[in-house]
Amino acid sequence: MNEPVLEFAFEIRVDIAPYLRIGRSADEELSFTPITGGTVAGPLLNGEVLPGGGDWAVERSGTAQLEARYLLRADDGAVIDIINRGYYRASAEVIARVEAGENVPETEYYFRTAPVFQTDAAPHRWLAEHQFIGLARDEDGQVCVRVYVVR
């Protein structure tokens, strides 16, 4: 069996509002981060992140399990649904630096996703027919996800 090949597809830069702590129990914390807009740019897709949707996170033992759902609009007007699940893990010191607005190198924390796309737009149907991996980071108040298609 061949090793998977990752091809850079595009980067999603998501604008976010302050997160809302929902809470759950002593062992985990549930929060929600609203998505307010953003951009999509790369060799295989360009467009915008539509306002609305958000990212639910459940943090247990220092690792947050993430599930974001929102919409993209391609430059040709097609609307694309994205569900982006993943994990975020960082030390308390790194989290404090990120929350203070510092652009912390992504090598100092773990932030990985597996986006799934849905659309009936013919030019973008390939998005709903491939597996993707996202390498994410916090940068300049945005969540940035470099999306790679697995070939």
What residue ranges define each of the domains in the chain, with the CATH number in brackets?
A: 6-150 (2.40.160.20)
**To 5 degrees, how large is the angle CA 22–CA 86–CA 41?**
110
**Among 99, 100, 110, residue whose Cα is nearest residue 137:** 110
On the question of pLDDT at 101 being above 90, the answer is no
End-to-end CA distance of the chain: 13
- Distances in Å between the Cα of 31 and the Cα atoms of 22, 28, 55, 64 are 5, 10, 8, 10
* pLDDT (tens digit per residue) in 75-99: 999 999 999 999 999 998 998 998 8
Q: What number of CA atoms fall less than 13 Å from residue 40's CA on the CB side? A: 24
On the question of pLDDT at 26 being above 80, the answer is no
